[in-house]
Structure 1
C-alpha cells in the first residue's frame, strides 16, 4: 500500500470523481514506483524495505515467542 497526493486540489471537486481511479492523473506515481524499485533489501529475495519492515514487526521471534504463546494459551484455557 502506498499513498499519493490526490490528482485534484480538493476531494469535493467534481473532477475528483473523474480522476481518482485514473493512474495517468497521478504525476508522482512514476517517481514513487521508481523509488520502491530501488529500495530493496537482502533479507528476503526481491523484497522492498516497507514489506520487510512490516514482516519484522508483525512476526514473533521463535525463541521468546514460543514461551509467550505457551503462557498465553495456559492462562486462556485456565479461565474457562
Structure 2
C-alpha cells in the first residue's frame, strides 16, 4: 500500500493547470462566440461557456479554507 503522507506531490503545478485552463477556455469561448455569430453556430460557444462555468466551480472548491490550510498560499487562485 502506498504511503500518501510521504509521497512527493506536484500540487502547485496541478493547481496552476486549472487556472491556465480557465483562462484559455475563457479566451476560446470569446473567440468561438465571435466566430459562431459569423457562421450561425452558437452551440460551440455555449459548450465552451459551460466548460468555463465548471472550471469556476472547481476554483471555488479549491478555495475551501480546509484545503488552503493544508496546502498554503499556492491554493489561492485569482478570479476574473
More helix by share: 2
Calculate the TM-score normalised by the size of structure 2.
0.30
Between structure 1 and structure 2, the one with the greater Rg is 1
User: Could you say which structure has the greater relative contact order, defined with CA pairs below 8 angstroms and 6 or more residues apart?
Assistant: 2
More strand by share: 1
